[in-house]
Structure 1
Amino acid sequence: MKFAYRFSNLLGTVYRRGNLHFTPDGNCVISPVGNRVTVFDLKNNKSETLPLATRHNITCVGLSPDGSLAILVDEEGAALLVSLIGKSVIHQFHFQKPVHCVCFSPDGRKFVITKDNVALMYHAPGKKREFNAFVLDKTYYGPYDETTCIDWTNDSKCFAVGSKDMSTWVFGAERWVNLIYYSLGGHKDAIVACFFEENSLDLYTISQDGALCVWQCDTDLDGLKPRPPKDRAEDKNESIENLGEEFIEEPKGEEIHGKATTNEKERRDKVKYSRAAKYFFNKEGDFNNLTSAAYHKKTHLLVTGFASGIFHLHELPEFNLIHSLSISDQRIATISINSTGDWIAFGCSGLGQLLVWEWQSESYVLKQQGHFNSMVSLAYSPDGQYLVTGGDDGKVKVWNTSSSFCFVTFTEHTSSISAVTFTSTGYVILSASLDGTVRAFDLHRYRNFRTFTSPRPAQFSCLAVDSSGEIISAGSQDSFDIFVWSMQSGRLLDVLSGHEGPISSLCFNPMKSILASASWDKTVRLWDMFDSWRTKETLTLNSDVLVVAFRPDGNELAVAALDGQITFWDHENAVQTGSIEGRHDLQMGRKELDKITAKQSAKAKSFTTLCYSADGQSILAGGLSKFVCIYHVKEQILMKKFEISCNLSLDAMEEYLDRRKMTEFGSMALIDDGAGDEDGVAIALPGVKRGDMSSRHFKPEIRVTCLRFSPTGRSWAATTTEGLLIYSLDSGLIFDPFELDIDITPSSVRKVLSQKEYTMAIVMAFRLNEKKLIQEVIETVPCNEVDVVCSSLPELYVEKVLEFLASAFETSHHLEFYLTWAQQLLMLHGQKLKTRSGKLLPMIQFLQKSIQRHFEDVSKLCEWNRYNIKYALAISQQRGMKRPAETSVSEEELEDSNSDYLMEEASAHS
């Protein structure tokens, strides 16, 4: 259980690429984040990243009508069938080529995917377990270029497919006499979206140049005539005449071609379309292409997004402009509307931005954006409720660990952030930047209240704050000095000189006033903060020092150097107590353009970030690798390795070269397929399908820039190329016995409990260690006997009961009952627990975090109720004064007086 950390959540990345989906109830947004999927719960203000991943970045997501299944397709065409209820992978499938779009039919029986210029219709997987969940039903040929979009009619009888060849094709999902296919032109650019009108075959088509065509059909949905069964062999002979060589390898299924010949009588009876109207969007600039669109059929609301970040709301079919707004200066990649038509979700891949907008009230339901560039540093608050991150974009973001949302962003820095940290109170954040400033931010008023600078401009590469929060130090990478300031006065106290290379890391001893500084000059210096800032000791190493970290009790110092070693020091006596050779555990991957093997490349790699666990028994290490290692400090052995990513869309992921990517001219990485139309840039040459050959792609390299353990010891976080990853202890592991005996069973525990021997029942339940049974036993204890049971508990079980209470606070509603338990245990056993405070600190902080969260929720509710009662009393008093005086007071005056009264109360309270 101690090292059973599993992937828990992904923060800092809210949208990468692909399409957004609202769940059928309209309360959640499903967003692809790299090779994972995050579900944003808008009602409860929470987000959760599913514990599954594809091998490459996800490009399109298909959601079943009931919201229980989803199909995730990555860049290579590999698909995962995912259960959103069980959050697990049901089936894997490979479409062999990149897929442009996936769409389920409204009845949930079929789904269509488009790849190249073909549409493939599959039988949708059912509720039962199947050997092959994806069974091909029909293959539809027609467009001459790549397909871009799909839309179904309400009764699932037909679907439309848009293409880059400026045409839209309407296909019958079943065998109809009067509709096999229909091709619609009328556009001068690639089709971006096509939408059927509700309960009709009428169609809207939208092209990239901002043109909207309204197509009317002369036949209703009920007018489609089913074709009688036909001999299968004859049908196959008819269709194989026009079979393209390119698609001979397609699996079995009926094929429908858009080039078949028909006789004159059938042509007269067939479905016909006519263009009723053509509208144009007002565009600002020549390159403001229309990039995405969504249509809500019930409310007739059309939402269109443009490359300049502007979106329009129109009412169809009259094309009345309702609203126009700009959300950024980047292209809007995808749009989705929820089932009620109230909320609109926008995704901007350029900024990694996700917005949910309520158009009627013109307010944001959700507005989240990750760091524009990679994250560099992170820190936990002392109670573990908040996380702060700093990025290369100069922003400092604060995240709530329970909701996974960023609730404040500080943008005062003008250059990359190098380090962030919390003070011991948890209400002040400090950040160091390459712009030459260290800034202090207040979490009460959300402002930058203190800025620390050096006499001469210096780029600060590291930051540390002492346990009292009064002394701030920052190391420079260009002047080789360490600057020390006072938080209270903001004055520069001293400049510590002595290092002969850039300062790489700083760390204060948690228990003493000692500062450890690491430098590229192969030394670690220990400075006494109370004794005239003098150097207390100098530790010499064999290589450049990259990072230092003190153990939570302050008795040991861990140092990581450029040679890949982690050394442990008794800093009081300047004696090395142990070392770990970690170079072999990094297992660097080979970059696409590397000319040496991954094994040779790993010889020059090292750990760049260290962090002790909450109990100090193990250490977490990471660097330029996809692996994070946990080492046991005393035994100096590797306990576990975590692979933080399996995303092959990132660089340095594969250990060996893939021969399939090698050509006679070298690696395929040197020859970019390009994404000529990815940013709305039109393809320059006719016949070129793969973009401009002069464009080059950028593949970010997988790396871990910072690691931190939560003060509660229940989780740890890492800033990586993928985002802010959080790993926590697996709560699903129920059976973890403790001193288990053969006589201890759930029935025997309940038998003892029925005899009202509560202490014995609690001890037996903890020895069996099943959470539900422990909860049942503790909640059976009468409230007036809690103090008696707590006083008779053995000392060994006091810690276990406190740990259970901390976890129970997160889910249980019995706040007063569990608070009584916690109070009695701490009052009766507090003196004994003090002797083991070092080991019990993570558990106490976990308990404090749970209580603090409930305290904040209840206090907000009480304040809201108090103001409501005061408002009601003010209204009743004014009405009571009005009757005897028989004065006439207008409603406006009454509202003004009430608002003034509430403003006075609020100002007095604040």
Structure 2
Amino acid sequence: MKFSYKFSNLLGTIYRNGNLVFTADGNTVISPVGNRITLYDLKNHKSRTLSLESRYNYTNLALSPDGCLMIAVNEIGDAQLISMVSCTVIHRHKFQTGVQCVCFSPDGNYFAVGRANLVFIFCTPGEITGEYNPFVLKRSFLGGYDDITWLDWSTDSKLLAIGCRDNSTKICAINRVRNFRTYNLNGHTDAIVSCFFELNSFHLNTVSRNGQLCLWECSLEPSDLTEADQNTQPECKRKTAKQLGAQDESEDDIENVIEKQIQQNDNDVLQDDSINGEKIRKAHPFYYKKLGRHYLANEPRKEQHDALLTAANYNRKTKVLVVAFSTGAFYLYELPDVNLIHSLSISEYPISAALFNYTGDWVALASREIGQLLVWEWQSEQYIMKQQGHSSEMTCIAYSPDGQYIATGGEDSKVKLWNTQSSFCFVTFVEHTSGVTAVQFSRNKKFLVSSSLDGTVRAFDVIRYRNFRTFTSPNPAQFACVAVDYSGDLVVAGGQDIFDIFLWSVKTGKLLEIISGHEGPVASVAFSPIATSSTLVSGSWDKTVKIWNCLESNSEHETIDTLSDVTCVAFNPTSDEIAVATLSGNITIFDIKSAAQVTTIEGRADLGSGRLETDIVTAKKNAGSNYFSTIEYSADGQCILAAGRSTNICIYQVRGAILLKKFTITQNYSLDGLHEFINRKHLSEFGNMALVEQRDEFEGRKVTIRLPGVRKGDMSSRRLQLEVRVYCVRFAPTGQAFAAAGTEGLCIYELDKGVVFDPFDLSLEVTPKAAHEALKNLQYTKALVVSLKLSDSNLVTLVLERVPYKDVELICSDLSPEFVQHLLHHLAELLQSTPHIEFYLYWCFCLLTTHGSRDSVFQHTALLELHENISQKYEMINKICDYNKYTLLVLLDKANFHENKLNIDDGFPHPNNEDSDYELLLIKHQDNQAMECEISYDSEE
């Protein structure tokens, strides 16, 4: 088994916090998801998450106009310069505090960063500017008296509009201009949310938090703005940097010195342009005139007095403005007439971000509270994309038998189905009324079952997307686990408050039996994966594991003592063994036939240690209480995947009871439980500040610390910090990937498909040259064997495609069983991307029919991988055929119309004529006219 798993994708979390970014073509939207970045391809309906991550959650993203560079800033001010070509971090820069906004100039030469009330202009590294040093400061501005909320560039990249929280907007020039002075726009009564320049103009539109829109007209056109001599500006900058290099001054002092130098240079320019000793300007004065003030969505907001404008965006080409409010509604206005053209309410929660794409056809909206992201085409009023993750923790996951789908259940009482290829959620079941505790697919993939704390077990049809069975108990019970047998006829669930196991029939929905015997909550149940067995294993907090036979009417069972509370049980898919995880931190392997212990894996020390903010004990003491809460066997039964209340996921070898590899699921220090020591800045003379209660004005209203025994963050607290934890891990049926549901979402890890030299049965004669010589001599079997020994995918593909179609069956029969498994694995991989579908399907057919009768020739994982890839090809071709079906019908009808018209012109009887010899005459006529008549359908048209 290979262990080169690497992070591949992130599902279940769509949007966390920050702004959205569209690519230059407008087909991809980029969303910050915690400390990772996800790209949603709206054209191909796929999503992918970049493998890079930050130490804290991202809050600001900015993409260069050419789409090659992206700047991502996290919540503590760490900026990363990312290459979108290689998807790697080029440079890191540390700001003193958090950054409010980042924006690239339209020409791509500069990017502006707003931090507190300061604005910094940096040169963009690359061929455009000729500057390859990252984060080279060109200029800085003092934005206002409060924090900066928005930055916007003019179309010619000469002016920068700075919106502030102090209700003002400041217009600044990047380079020194003769007839321009920094200009302030006042007139709003609340904080500025957004400000936008018009296309090819200096006219400005500003939007405030209370819904006011102000339209400003500039006295100058872009052509009237002339830049002064630029040689003095770099000298000024160098002089300032030299002066400040010897002194340790703040950035406010830097700004003051720069402004004084620029003002002195402007006076010098005015003195040079004087006539008769008087300072005059040769160009027109620069000023703004307010054209009007409008109150957006005033009537709907009168009904809700606390409604605030939370996001706004403006498309310069279409002159359409979108404004979003804290009520979950957004409105589209046409400027400058401010005509309402569209309105829609998407939820009851505030909209955190709104953004137009380049063409202005799509608008992306995101809500932080519910983790929702949607793209709306306002002209046709259709959803291009509507995705929403679980609003609370994702507690359980399950792979479909072919590995195409993943089912997830969360504490928000929802069950979601995700496509592993597109990474999109395509259906959500909302029938449960409380948290979902477990989900599992049937073996035929036609339905899945889920257990919940609402006292029901529900069966959902995966094909028709409906809840067709609801299983309940005679007395209300909270179900903590669920399992389906091999045949898919029986469903069993264990109670959390009633210590019984309930067995139902899927076909009738009736309760067949109540299995009693446990004296504590049933933590986990599992059916035997063997088709001929009906063995059921259950683990409980009463420190026992019981083995039941579900086909018997009585409750006879065998009990195994584990000396500690059981947290999870799992069946070996290839043998009669079970793995049991307990609170002691160990994983014990038992043989269910003899009830004997096979081996024990001691993994408490492998989970790692972390310390919460409010912990009294140290991280080393916390490590003593760690345990595995979820375990899963690999498809071949040789390894176990285990995780728990930690950031680590461990893979153990069963026979050797050793740790093979450890994965760290996240490095996000915005979550709680990653630090080993308490930061000294959080310590005071009173002790740890996280343990000090901070209440509101009136006693007893709100307490920010966590109550004793509470393991989850309080959503009503001002200091919300979720705890790092892995709730569930599952191997993909093919063994090529595994999924882990944790605090960050659903993380997918896949085997690295890079260039890896992994040969077998290697000798001196096995070389690529030998394979090519064998092909040249038409020795196809030898060439195929050599390429399989080298495990070179390109070489195997070359050999397979050189083999004649008629010789495929003969070569498959000549292969020895040791090469059949490797060839089937390569064929399964080739079916993912090759256009020669029929050719490779014939290879698979010959291989399976020739060697399928032998036992243990094909591994279960290879067959599942082949089944998964064939199913994907079938769905893809099925969609294409459905799309082209009506087009083909139209073409056939058109051809029949021309044929009937030709028959009428030649005196041939019409098909409607009731002539018994019509078919015979038609055949004769076609034979006579086949060589004489040539028809051009284009000329007929």
Q: Is residue 625 of structure 1 aligned with residue 646 of structure 2?
A: yes
1:277 aligns with 292
CA 1:237–1:706: 2 relative to 1, 3 Å: closer
Deviations 1:812-855 (A, max 9, x none): 111001101100000111122x3345xx0011000000001111
Partner SS state of residue 832, structure 2: coil
Deviations 1:12-31 (A, max 9, x none): 11111111111101111101
Q: Is residue 513 of structure 1 aligned with residue 534 of structure 2?
A: yes
Q: Is residue 192 of structure 1 aligned with residue 193 of structure 2?
A: yes
Q: After the TM superposition, which residues 466-615 of structure 1 pair with which residues of structure 2 at under 5 Å, given as runs?
A: 466-511=485-530, 512-615=533-636
- Aligned-pair CA distance for 1:755: 1.5
1:295 aligns with 314
1:393 aligns with 412
Paired AA for residue 552 in structure 1: P
1:898 aligns with none
2:786 aligns with 764
Higher radius of gyration, 1 or 2 = 2
- Aligned-pair CA distance for 1:182: 1.2
Paired AA for residue 826 in structure 2: F
1:374 aligns with 393
Deviations 1:76-126 (A, max 9, x none): 100111111211111111112100111111111110000000000001121
2:232 aligns with 230
2:673 aligns with 652
Q: Distance in 1 between matches of 2:234 and 2:879?
A: 69
Q: Distance in 1 between matches of 2:733 and 2:647?
A: 24
Counting aligned pairs with the same residue, the percent is 47
Q: Distance in 2 between matches of 1:533 and 1:550?
A: 23
Partner SS state of residue 809, structure 1: helix
- Aligned-pair CA distance for 1:695: 6.3
1:722 aligns with 744
- Aligned-pair CA distance for 1:588: 2.5
Q: After the TM superposition, which residues 442-457 of structure 1 pair with which residues of structure 2 at under 5 Å, given as runs?
A: 442-457=461-476
Q: Distance in 1 between matches of 2:685 and 2:282?
A: 53
Partner SS state of residue 324, structure 1: strand
Structure 1 portions without partners, runs of 5+: 676-693, 886-910
Deviations 1:170-210 (A, max 9, x none): 11111212224211111011100010000111111110010
Q: Distance in 2 between matches of 1:791 and 1:775?
A: 19
Moved more, 174-183 or 419-428: 174-183
Deviations 1:43-90 (A, max 9, x none): 111000000100000000010101111111000100111111211111
Q: Distance in 2 between matches of 1:192 and 1:259?
A: 30
CA 1:593–1:763: 2 relative to 1, 3 Å: same
- Aligned-pair CA distance for 1:399: 0.4
**Aligned mate of 2:347, from 328, 333, 339:** 328
**What TM-score comes out, normalization by structure 1 length?**
0.91
Deviations 1:738-781 (A, max 9, x none): 23334433333222212111111111112222222221221121
**What TM-score comes out, normalization by structure 2 length?**
0.88
Q: Distance in 1 between matches of 2:54 and 2:172?
A: 31
Q: Distance in 1 between matches of 2:131 and 2:769?
A: 39
Paired AA for residue 247 in structure 1: E
- Aligned-pair CA distance for 1:880: 10
- Aligned-pair CA distance for 1:288: 0.9
Deviations 1:195-230 (A, max 9, x none): 000011111111001011111111111111212233
Q: Distance in 2 between matches of 1:152 and 1:171?
A: 10
Q: Distance in 2 between matches of 1:328 and 1:69?
A: 34
Paired AA for residue 520 in structure 1: W
Q: Distance in 1 between matches of 2:166 and 2:617?
A: 44
Structure 2 portions without partners, runs of 5+: 271-278, 697-715, 905-941
- Aligned-pair CA distance for 1:234: 6.6
2:811 aligns with 789
2:825 aligns with 803
Paired AA for residue 292 in structure 2: A
CA 1:569–1:230: 2 relative to 1, 3 Å: same
Paired AA for residue 799 in structure 1: Q
Q: Distance in 2 between matches of 1:252 and 1:470?
A: 78
Q: Distance in 1 between matches of 2:18 and 2:409?
A: 26
1:317 aligns with 336
Tell me if structure 2 keeps the 8 A contact 1:674–1:695. Answer: no
Tell me if structure 1 keeps the 8 A contact 2:309–2:324. Answer: yes
Tell me if structure 2 keeps the 8 A contact 1:143–1:163. Answer: yes
- Aligned-pair CA distance for 1:252: 13
Q: Is residue 147 of structure 1 aligned with residue 133 of structure 2?
A: no
Q: Is residue 361 of structure 1 aligned with residue 361 of structure 2?
A: no
Q: Distance in 2 between matches of 1:382 and 1:345?
A: 35
Q: Is residue 463 of structure 1 aligned with residue 482 of structure 2?
A: yes
Partner SS state of residue 476, structure 2: coil
Q: Distance in 2 between matches of 1:270 and 1:244?
A: 39
Tell me if structure 2 keeps the 8 A contact 1:142–1:169. Answer: yes
Paired AA for residue 88 in structure 2: S
2:701 aligns with none
**Aligned mate of 2:440, from 404, 407, 421:** 421
Q: Distance in 2 between matches of 1:551 and 1:254?
A: 71
Paired AA for residue 46 in structure 2: K
1:850 aligns with 869
1:181 aligns with 182
Tell me if structure 2 keeps the 8 A contact 1:439–1:451. Answer: yes
Q: Distance in 2 between matches of 1:268 and 1:674?
A: 60
Q: Distance in 2 between matches of 1:212 and 1:257?
A: 36
CA 1:127–1:807: 2 relative to 1, 3 Å: farther
Q: Is residue 409 of structure 1 aligned with residue 424 of structure 2?
A: no
Moved more, 197-206 or 856-865: 856-865
CA 1:461–1:255: 2 relative to 1, 3 Å: farther
CA 1:29–1:668: 2 relative to 1, 3 Å: farther
Higher RCO (C-alpha 8 Å, min separation 6): 1
Partner SS state of residue 822, structure 2: helix
CA 1:113–1:395: 2 relative to 1, 3 Å: same
- Aligned-pair CA distance for 1:275: 0.9
CA 1:172–1:15: 2 relative to 1, 3 Å: same
Tell me if structure 2 keeps the 8 A contact 1:138–1:255. Answer: no
Tell me if structure 1 keeps the 8 A contact 2:812–2:846. Answer: yes
2:366 aligns with 347
Paired AA for residue 272 in structure 1: Y
Tell me if structure 2 keeps the 8 A contact 1:674–1:697. Answer: no
Q: Distance in 2 between matches of 1:731 and 1:867?
A: 40
Q: Distance in 2 between matches of 1:99 and 1:825?
A: 60
Deviations 1:448-493 (A, max 9, x none): 0011000010000100110000010000011100000001111000
Moved more, 140-149 or 749-758: 749-758
Tell me if structure 2 keeps the 8 A contact 1:136–1:251. Answer: no
Deviations 1:770-825 (A, max 9, x none): 22222122112122211122111222111101001111111111100110110000
Q: Distance in 2 between matches of 1:126 and 1:470?
A: 63
Deviations 1:290-327 (A, max 9, x none): 11111110111111111111101011111111101101
